[in-house]
Chains A and B, each alone.
Chain A
Amino acid sequence: MLVEKVLYCAQVKATAGRDIRTVSSDGVLDLKVTRPRELGGTNGWGTTPDVDTWARVHFRQDSNVRRDSVMDSPIDPDGLTRREFIVTTAAAITVANAPAGFAAPADGYGSTVAVDFEVNNSAVRLDVEPRVTLLDALRERLGLYGTKKGCDQGQCGACTVHVDGRRVLSCLTLAVQAKGKRITTIEGIAGPDGGLHPIQQAFLDHDALQCGYCTPGQIMSAIACIREGHTGSPGEIREYMSGNLCRCGAYAGIVGAIQQAAP
């Protein structure tokens, strides 16, 4: 799984020769990290748009590098966040292990489509390959990590977002299909003053989560469930929330929270 993600990150973020400088032959690289500018800093990437940072990465030249050992390797973080560090390191491993010429796109690879859409009331333009899902675009390109990748197969609901006000699975939606659409993610539901959305408060009141990984999807689904009018009884809530799985089993609290927030 990691490798697939790694390849993607590397193609986007690092082109050999331009973005990567080999410092020594025993596995030290400098890697350029470009922070996404598309949202102009209204998200977890801070308020610094479009900044190139050189990160020095040390790694073991070992094709079976595990994520854990990468995390343990020495690094000059250069102010990187933990998430940027993981992405950066992963890209470095990929580049180091790839055959020569890796950065040159194969036939058909890499051709992109410009997509204009709106995310949480901000206009966004992305150049994406048609095979990029909306979920990956939100997370990897826009830095909106609130939307979770659970199964990535349309079976768990963790990636639920709203497209033009309707709840959908972003893992099975291609980003190019978001063209001209209005997307709302968990980052976009708080009030203008930053206050919690009523359903967020209800989840707290009802202890409707344990580990919290499914919670953004549950909340996006719950908001739509209420809007659709499918909250007439606990049974109806269960039926219309069945697309959001919770491995911790917080279902009783989730139903209670939705009953509280529903009119």
Chain B
Amino acid sequence: MHPFRYATPTTTDEAIHTLAAAPGTARLLAGGTTLVDLMKLDVEQPALLIDITGIPQLREIRTDGDTLIFGALVHMSEAADHPVIKRDYPILSEALWRGASQQLRNMATLGGNLLQRTRCAYFRDTQFPCNKRAPGSGCSAIGGLDRGHALLGTSSQCIATYPGDWAVALVAMDASIDTLSPRGGRTIPVAELHRQPGDTPQIENVLAIDEMIVRTRVPASALGRASTYIKIRDRESYAFALTSAAVALSMDGNRVRDARIALGGVATVPWRARQAEQSLVGKTLDDAAAREAGTLAFTGAQTSPQNAFRVPLGINAVVQALTIAKGRA
């Protein structure tokens, strides 16, 4: 690991000004589960690490009127085991406890989790060309070992999968984040946080270089109870998704009043499937309707011989998630 300087701000104000003073060469450190890993691989080589874990106000977890508030430093395990979240928002709790391992969930924070980097093996290995890591060098995944790569939201420059689960559930629940920079604060829908690769796969989100996430807001919703997060993996636990489905429903008897569907593990960003949602509204939720929604969710998927199996797998995951969510309505 390359050497770096280390700062420990105690306020958000101090953190963003330290960040702004080292444009492009500093990184915020929270749980470290992505950053320290990538630093060992030389993929990340910051000159300055700004350890924000000593900022107490980022640890809040509470409700504010009709909104759930998760501070950026709340640990994944803490939110996953929160009794209210488990009861009223299984989609959120399941997305968290089905991610990583309990040790990692005790370290990783909800703010950092949103910005988790791709697990693309070519991105992680500096011996390979990678447009995300070294812009213009080429994409080794296209035409390479792409079994786990993205099917949706790809470009000719990059097919790296967004690996997280939490953001997928948040996108389904219309969550947003509050950020802070020396220019003040702003609120960004989680659905607009991540950027598809396009011609600039190295730019993964809309945050400015001196901007930090301070909290996530999830609007309270009756859809929370009739919800689930299904994750299909190569092994039963502690693996990244081959495909995942975040689903929440509002039901009027057997008829769908409102539906939310988001996909994980198959796209370059957390993938909201609005066309699939619309197909369900007003309909009786039976197996055929669920399957049609699943199929619509994968509209436009670009596959290769190695990863085409994840389309039917993903459709089945949507069907299963809709069935589970309906059972909770």
Chain B proximity of A160: nearest CB distance (Å) = 6
Q: Which residue of B lies closest to A243 (CB)?
A: B101
Alpha-carbon gap, A176 to B29, bound state (A): 12
A220-248 contact mask (Cβ, 8 Å, vs B): 1 or 0: 01001100101000000011101110000
User: Could you say which of B6, B39, B103 contacts A167, with CB atoms under 8 Å apart?
Assistant: B103
A contact residues, range? 20 to 34
> Is B4 in contact with A173, judged by CB distance below 8 angstroms?
no
User: Could you say which of A153, A176, A239 contacts B51, with CB atoms under 8 Å apart?
Assistant: A176
> Is B103 in contact with A131, judged by CB distance below 8 angstroms?
no
Q: Does B32 make an interface contact (CB < 8 A)? A: yes
Alpha-carbon gap, A160 to B51, bound state (A): 22
> Is A131 in contact with B4, judged by CB distance below 8 angstroms?
yes
Q: Does B299 make an interface contact (CB < 8 A)? A: no
Interface size on B, residues (CB 8 A): 30
> Is B101 in contact with A168, judged by CB distance below 8 angstroms?
no
Chain B proximity of A45: nearest CB distance (Å) = 26
Specify which chain B residues have a CB less than 8 angstroms from the CB of A242 in the assembled complex. Answer: 101, 236-238
Q: Does A216 make an interface contact (CB < 8 A)? A: no
Q: Which residue of A lies closest to B7 (CB)?
A: A130
> Is A221 in contact with B102, judged by CB distance below 8 angstroms?
yes
B241-267 contact mask (Cβ, 8 Å, vs A): 1 or 0: 000000000000000000000000000
Alpha-carbon gap, A251 to B47, bound state (A): 42
Instruction: Kindly list the 3 A-B residue pairs having the minimum CB-CB distance in the complex, ordered from nearest.
Output: A243-B101, A242-B237, A130-B6
Other than the known A111-B5, A242-B237, what 19 A-B pairs have Cβ atoms closer than 8 Å?
Answer: A108-B3, A113-B6, A129-B3, A130-B3, A130-B5, A130-B49, A131-B1, A152-B40, A153-B37, A166-B77, A167-B106, A172-B33, A172-B104, A173-B36, A173-B107, A177-B51, A239-B97, A243-B238, A244-B101
Q: List 27 A-B contacts (CB under 8 A).
A: A108-B4, A108-B5, A108-B47, A110-B3, A113-B6, A130-B3, A131-B1, A152-B40, A154-B37, A167-B103, A168-B103, A168-B106, A169-B33, A169-B107, A172-B104, A172-B107, A173-B32, A174-B49, A174-B51, A177-B29, A177-B32, A177-B51, A177-B53, A238-B237, A239-B237, A242-B101, A242-B237
Chain B interface residues toward A at CB < 8 A: 1-6, 29, 32-33, 36-37, 39-40, 47, 49, 51, 53, 77, 81, 97, 100-104, 106-107, 236-238
